[in-house]
Amino acid sequence: MQSNYETKLWGGRYHQGTDERMERFHNIAATTSWLLEPDIIGSIAHAQMLSKCGLITQEQGTQIDQGLKDLLKQAQDGVLVLDNSFEDVHSFVEIKLTGLIGEAGKVLHTARSRNDQVNVDMKLYARQSCQALLDLLRNLLDTIKAKADANPIPMPGYTHMQRAQVITFKHYLMAYHGMFSRDVRRVENAIQGMNECPLGCGALAGTTHAIDRPYTAKLLGFEKPYVNFIDGACDRDYLIEALSALSMIMMHLSRLSEDLILYSTHEFGFVELDERFTTGSSIMPQKRNPDSVELIRGKTGRVYGCLMALLTMMKGQPLSYNKDMQEDKDAYHNAMVTVQNCLVVMEGVIATLTPLEERLRCSLKGGFMNATEVADYLVRKGIPFRSAHGIVGSLVLYAEAQSKELEELSLAEFRQFSEVFDESVYENIIYEHSLKLGIKKEML
């Protein structure tokens, strides 16, 4: 086994190796392999800045630059693999680089701490993963709109899970289009909050070396360096903001999942989920279970937990960096991968689901879902809405007693409750007609 000095950047201070129990407890190298490429990319920019500022020789700069690019290629090809024989990704990259190019690798950490280094790694990863998330959200939006446009089928709408008014399947789906569109803006805002570069902040107090922080910020695609060194070393607000956006996405995915679970039951029968996104029962041969959307609904709690974990981890820490912050990695990565996977699956669910038109239309019967349209009709006839509301309430009681729907009542029956009723009332209360009136046309 390699010594502390060989595998830890701080090993020279210690007489003994780390206790095996402590090693297992704090070592996260193997679970943060996704930070390998961001760490190398950040190191390339740092080395180029050191060379530009004359803090390392041009020869050292060239050797480091080429060595890091070789390591990056190996990482991208899956040849360079991070494992737990090293403390973290930073020591892994630096020690591998030194093994590759020799003594020149040892100057890479000049004017840099692991505190500002890990924060730039996390920002690079967070920015890249959020960009990938935007692509998945936009793909889902396109799929929702295509499915909605193809299915302007009348169906019941609900409040309090009670039949309320007639809507269309298109209008129903486009409600989620609105939610996920706002999620796009939230993720874009989160990315905008990642525009400050931590490199050069050091452990918490900068460096006495004459470095060029705006240069490394520009090389890495940031707008500017942090104004305050302490803030730059320990800022995790950008991760919490991104996790908040992820939690909102999962909330919307979970609501959609709950709808699809209900609507695909025999009791509703509004939609049919494709076999490719359902599973069977080990004991009941007839079953087709909506496991895809049930898992999405369940995984929402995991993402909420990651947000709460990070908020709780940060709330009691004194300035500046503390080892607690190591917990940000698993929380953010876990949540991001979960949300990305859920978006991929939900896009497939929506693309392949079938609205059952006959059942949707049959479900319009019952519940007096055109009662509000009757009240609106009376208002257009000059009756104040509160009075119209009372008239229609009495109409509903009468229709219930006669076991009739409102549209089944005769004109004479309508006129028992108000003389303003005439034949035009039927144009307003037959569902297909009422959907074409006024602003309701937007549902079609």
User: Of the ranges 103-107, 151-155, 279-283, which one carries the lowest mean pLDDT score?
Assistant: 279-283
Confidence of residue 319 (pLDDT cuts 50, 70, 90): very high
For the segment 247-264, the average pLDDT, to the nearest whole number, is 98
**pLDDT over 50 (residue 1):** no
Catalytic residue among 3, 26, 281, 394: 281
**pLDDT over 70 (residue 297):** yes
Instruction: Annotate 302-330 with three-state secondary structure.
Output: HHHHHHHHHHHHHHCCCCCCCHHHHHHHH
State residue 5's pLDDT score. 43
**pLDDT over 50 (residue 115):** yes
**pLDDT over 70 (residue 3):** no
State residue 14's pLDDT score. 62
Confidence of residue 24 (pLDDT cuts 50, 70, 90): confident
**% of the chain exceeding 70 in pLDDT:** 97
281 is catalytic: yes
State residue 77's pLDDT score. 96
State residue 6's pLDDT score. 52
**pLDDT over 90 (residue 8):** no
State residue 30's pLDDT score. 77
For the segment 158-173, the average pLDDT, to the nearest whole number, is 96
State residue 219's pLDDT score. 98
Burial letters for 122-153: b for 16+ Cβ neighbours within 10 Å, e otherwise?
bbbbbbebbeebeebbeebbebbeebbeebeb
For the chain, list the domains and their CATH numbers.
Answer: 19-110 (1.10.275.10), 115-150+169-196+228-356 (1.20.200.10), 371-443 (1.10.40.30)
State residue 419's pLDDT score. 96
160 is catalytic: yes
Measured CA to CA, the distance from residue 425 to residue 412 in angstroms comes to 12
Taking CA atoms, 128 is separated from 134, 200, 298, in Å, by 10, 21, 26
Residue 162 DSSP SS3 = strand
* Of 387 and 83, the one with more pLDDT: 387
Asked whether the bond before 434 is cis by omega within 30 degrees of 0, the reply is: no
Residue 158 DSSP SS3 = strand
**pLDDT over 50 (residue 2):** no
